[in-house]
Amino acid sequence: MARSLGFAAYRAFSRRLSRPAPPNGWMPRPKGEVLWLHAASDDRLEVLFELGRRVQSQRSGLVVLITSNGEPRAPLATEEVDMRYDRLTSDHPAEAVRFLDQWRPDFCIWAGADLMPNLISQTSGRGIPMTLIDIGQDEFPSRNHKWFPDLTRESLGRFETIFTTGPKGTTMLRRIGVPRQKITQGEPLRNGPSPPSIDEDSLSKTANQLAGRPVWLAAHVRAAEFEAVLAAHRLASRFNHRLLLVMTLADPGSSGPLVDALNNTRKRFSHWCNGNDIDDNTQVLISNGGDDLGLWYRMAPLTFMASSLTINDKGRSPLDAVALGSAILFGPHVTDHRETYSRLVAVGAGRSVSDADALGEAVIQLVAPDEAAAMALEGWQVVTEGAALSDHLVELVQDRLDNHART
């Protein structure tokens, strides 16, 4: 693609800017294929992280590199999988060269329209295929780089395919000058569930032990929330004396303080991880979570997503619980997943509670299987939003990496 006068002017201007200091520590490029996922805004990071995990599960040896323009609101759990994170702080030409020399990605998915023309141009110039996704009608409200009027059009032209979020986004791109054949009209980028696997034998055995007892789950409970969750269970148990509370901990190392709290309230409890059976006298069951979370999301018709009650909390994603058929309660502090919870509330699949009393009252009302099932059914609408786009992107990544490997 021939470079425009706008790009030449922008490149000359950006060279005059001070080059940022090199990053502390140099992460060597791993062997094998590297999939580069860039989030132009912080709210897209988690979605790209889940997309990377899906592709990795299907492609052995793939390393996923996630980048963004700013610091993430919450640390990405890259240590759990073979992922890397790098912050892109500047579109200085030398910084673009540094980044591409270091990582040498095989394919790039760029989410959002905060474009970096130098980096995009050099990526395209090296023959690295790129796809742009999640472009809506408001992505270029003031025609980015207004001093270089044709720069946005040229940057967009470097992408093989551009996925818009609807007809208005498509119309906007056509007005900018993007060829129709490059545009695919889709849907907004949404996070999807990655529910833990469930052992069917454990499911059957647990169901036999419960023998029809009503169950609710408090997942990812922090130590600061122990008192509120146990108070809510005391309140709910007055109306249903057979009610069982299952608690999974945000920090497995906090089981000691939980045991102390249970002893103080004289609650009869068992440790699931120690292989204890559930009997009619068990009022609270302690689980470390992890691989057991999928089991309890299936067994409990109602889940309180903890790490959300106190002022320092930021919430946990509820999508795995919804995908496995559980209705959702959550506290007021869910900054990291506010959009997801808002969508659940909008369709009647989730309810916010402010304190122990509100939590207990909600459990009393919703723990009945028919009440929770109605909420869970509505939640399926949220779980499946964006599923078609996510599936399409996984297939696209596989195809592009295969083609890149052959060439």
Q: What are the pLDDT digits (tens) for 301-332?
A: 999 999 999 998 989 989 999 999 999 999 99
Cα(60)–Cα(30) distance, integer angstroms: 14
Q: Sheet harboring 284-287: ordered strands across?
A: 269-271, 284-287, 244-249, 215-221, 302-305, 327-330, 350-352
Q: In the chain, where are the structural domains located?
A: 5-192+386-406, 200-384
- 147 versus 291: the higher-pLDDT residue is 291
Tell me what the mean pLDDT of segment 231-240 comes to: 95
Q: Tell me the one-letter amino acid at 329.
A: L
With 90 as the cut, is the pLDDT of residue 276 above it? no
Comparing CA positions, the residue from 117, 98, 130, 94 lying closest to residue 3 is 117
Comparing CA positions, the residue from 136, 132, 134 lying closest to residue 171 is 136
Residue with tokens 């907004």: 188
Q: Find out whether 7 and 154 touch, Cβ atoms under 8 Å.
A: yes
Greatest Cα pair distance in the chain: 78
CATH number of 200-384: 3.40.50.2000
Handedness of CA 10, 11, 12, 17 (dihedral sign): positive
Q: Which residues pair with 286 in a beta bridge?
A: 247, 271
Task: Give the number of other Cβ atoms within 10 Å of residue 230's Cβ.
Answer: 23
Q: Do domains 5-192+386-406 and 200-384 have the same CATH topology?
A: yes
102-140 confidence digits (pLDDT tens)? 999 999 999 998 899 999 999 999 999 999 999 988 776
Give the number of residues written for the chain.
Answer: 407
Task: Please report, rounded to a whole number, the percentage of residues in the chain having pLDDT higher than 70.
Answer: 88
112: its two tokens: 């959002």
Q: Write phi, then psi, for 283 (nearest 5 degrees).
A: -100, -30
Work out the mean pLDDT of the chain and round it to a whole number: 86
Architecture in CATH for domain 5-192+386-406: 3-Layer(aba) Sandwich (3.40)
The 3-state DSSP class for residue 144 equals coil
Cα(222)–Cα(313) distance, integer angstroms: 9
Cα(209)–Cα(206) distance, integer angstroms: 5
